Structure 1
């Protein structure tokens, strides 16, 4: 769905795709707890996932177009709100469950909130957003583009794959590492994950300032290297305070990688921004999906410590591809 939506956005507009995708996703959230069997549950999850994929590509395409019009970095701020929303949603649902509300109430409330917010936003958005029209390149029916840009976009997608591979692996395996390797309590492990996730939100909130002041390539390369060093420090010490410090810096370092990659995808010179965004996002989220099970497979075959080495290597590779995020740089 993410690949297909890139060709639909130039026809219908990013705002309409965002509106439709968010509404379908909101309806899916509310419907999930009421499915009577596994088949219907699988169907509704599939539909909701496809809607969210379309929403993701459309939102990032429009955000990249707005960033281009502003002529300064702003993508990290949008992703910071995504991170804050994740934390807020988890916190609110946790409080509801603690007050003896069931999961149906949690998902239903979430669906209503998403639906209300998207209607509010859509009613105040331009019917024919010039921001996207300004970034649309060529005809929406074109199927072949500059071969050099195609290759560069493929490489950028590979960087997105590795960045989200590492992000997904860290999100899913940090707590398990703390419990199994450092023998902490589950509550301490949860705090370790919160440290990482909170640092990501913080990093994205200041990411645009850093990009505008220091340069986006420096921030991107430095962030990836900070993650690699932080993961290496985590593996080399048993001191819990140092591990938590390393997790904090890992969250800061990784926070602005994906926003910068998506921003770069939206600045493609000859390929329509929505098509470029859909390709890069699809490859990136493939990494997000494959990262955690790959780490688990390596951990089962060798050890969890060994599996984390792959995260550090992925980050070093991402850092080496930092020039791909700037279309003015030759590769």
Structure 2
């Protein structure tokens, strides 16, 4: 039977090419059968991609929740731990060009299945580390495979968006954020019941591998724009560079919140020690919750307006936290910051995946490379400014990045709403 092709209209008018997706029996749908949003095969695609997003976040949160245990077990000083932890972003960053090339060459489904296995096993390897040097290499591989899975599963998310003909990316990222809370809760329970990191990580690994096997049957088989002959490095066009700059600015603010929120509440808000994590928790709750709403809002108001609103909301939140550094007002500020940064990265990734010049995996790599640089350099810059001036001034400086999100998103063409 000859496979039938159908044409799907662009989701994001100015950013999206016309897409051709082939219906094949091997994709779990009989050839020529129309896939309708909400149909059972489509729901399976969406559920399984969402499950991998969740397991990715659970795996990462499981590692992070046991950092104090690993530091104590290996008797690492703060300086040594800081050096060792740097291996993870190094592995993540080095994998960026390879991830886009590999996804473009063999397809995101195969890369998801392979990288999920390696990512889960690398988590277990962290639990076996007996020395700072071995932990360094384990974290390097953990970061490398984490990003390989990151690029490939985001490419799958773009494919599901195309099949559904609507935005879904932010909700997938919301599942990743939700997994962060789950992983932290599981880690706390494991610590409270005396489990070492190794059996904890083995349990997470087993759950991940089982989920990976089940989901492997229902991932989207064929990527749009698959290019088996593409080079390892490809130059992004101006629209992608613009999206990358927006991601860079937003992730600088995001990275600052990840690393400095607790310090801010101690040094500036002057809370008691038991309330140190309130700011970060408030930020994460707002971030996770807003991601489940962002797709619908973007479909109603358009990508450009949502990005502009995100930058404005982040700016207002920062100003509230800096100008009124009391417990309740700072929590309100951090909540607004979480809402502001929540939608930027998933919506920018979704737009990048509709590039007219590069395959989804390659386009995602280009944008995420710029964004990740912001995540890396944001916290050190905040520390440098705080050393020279004060922590309040350094947080105020982040508003430059949030206003840049507004400025660069204002340069985008208006898109049709979906």
Give your verdict on TM over 0.5: yes
Instruction: For 1:141 and 1:28, locate their aligned partners in 2 and report how far apart those are by CA, in whole Å.
Output: 30
**Residues 1:65 and 2:159 are matched in the alignment:** yes
Pick aligned residue for 1:136 from 205, 209, 225:
225
125 and 152 in structure 1: CA distance in 2 versus 1, 3 angstrom threshold: closer
Q: Assess if the C-alpha contact under 8 Å between 2:97 and 2:232 holds in 1.
A: no
Partner of 1:175: 262
243 and 12 in structure 1: CA distance in 2 versus 1, 3 angstrom threshold: same
Cα deviation for residue 6 of structure 1 reads 1.1
239 and 18 in structure 1: CA distance in 2 versus 1, 3 angstrom threshold: same
44 and 167 in structure 1: CA distance in 2 versus 1, 3 angstrom threshold: same
47 and 144 in structure 1: CA distance in 2 versus 1, 3 angstrom threshold: closer
Query: Secondary structure of 1:206's partner?
Result: helix
| Pairing of 1:189-268 with structure 2 (within 5 A) | 189-268=276-355
Instruction: For 2:182 and 2:109, locate their aligned partners in 1 and report how far apart those are by CA, in whole Å.
Output: 25
**Residues 1:166 and 2:260 are matched in the alignment:** no
Partner of 2:118: 24
Query: Secondary structure of 1:182's partner?
Result: coil
Instruction: For 1:102 and 1:42, locate their aligned partners in 2 and report how far apart those are by CA, in whole Å.
Output: 19
Instruction: For 1:267 and 1:324, locate their aligned partners in 2 and report how far apart those are by CA, in whole Å.
Output: 18
Pick aligned residue for 1:153 from 236, 240, 243:
240
Cα deviation for residue 10 of structure 1 reads 2.6
| Pairing of 1:100-111 with structure 2 (within 5 A) | 100-111=194-205
Pick aligned residue for 1:304 from 382, 387, 391:
391
Cα deviation for residue 324 of structure 1 reads 6.2
> Can you list the C-alpha shifts for 1:254-279, whole angstroms capped at 9, x where unaligned?
11010111011101012112111111
Query: Secondary structure of 1:10's partner?
Result: helix
Q: Assess if the C-alpha contact under 8 Å between 1:32 and 1:45 holds in 2.
A: yes
For normalisation by structure 2, the TM-score amounts to 0.73
Q: Assess if the C-alpha contact under 8 Å between 2:161 and 2:168 holds in 1.
A: yes
Task: List, as ranges, runs of 4+ consecutive aligned residues in structure 1 with deviation greater than 6 Å.
Answer: 144-147
Deviates more, 1:296-305 or 1:49-58: 296-305
Partner of 2:146: 52
For normalisation by structure 1, the TM-score amounts to 0.91
Instruction: For 1:324 and 1:106, locate their aligned partners in 2 and report how far apart those are by CA, in whole Å.
Output: 48
Cα deviation for residue 97 of structure 1 reads 0.6
Query: Secondary structure of 2:203's partner?
Result: helix
- Between 1 and 2, higher relative CO (CA 8 Å, sep ≥ 6) is seen in 1
Q: Assess if the C-alpha contact under 8 Å between 1:156 and 1:261 holds in 2.
A: yes
Query: Could you say which structure has the larger radius of gyration?
Result: 2
Give the structure with the higher percent helix: 1
Pick aligned residue for 1:279 from 355, 361, 366:
366
Structure 2: where are the runs of 5+ without partners?
1-94
Question: How many residues were matched structurally?
Answer: 322
> Can you list the C-alpha shifts for 1:203-250, whole angstroms capped at 9, x where unaligned?
001111211222222111101110011101110013321211121121
> Can you list the C-alpha shifts for 1:37-89, whole angstroms capped at 9, x where unaligned?
22222222111211111111111112122213322111111000000011110
255 and 124 in structure 1: CA distance in 2 versus 1, 3 angstrom threshold: same
Q: CA RMSD in A?
A: 2.2
Query: Secondary structure of 2:356's partner?
Result: coil
Instruction: For 1:178 and 1:36, locate their aligned partners in 2 and report how far apart those are by CA, in whole Å.
Output: 34
Cα deviation for residue 177 of structure 1 reads 0.4
Q: Assess if the C-alpha contact under 8 Å between 1:145 and 1:270 holds in 2.
A: no
Query: Secondary structure of 1:269's partner?
Result: coil
Query: Secondary structure of 2:404's partner?
Result: helix
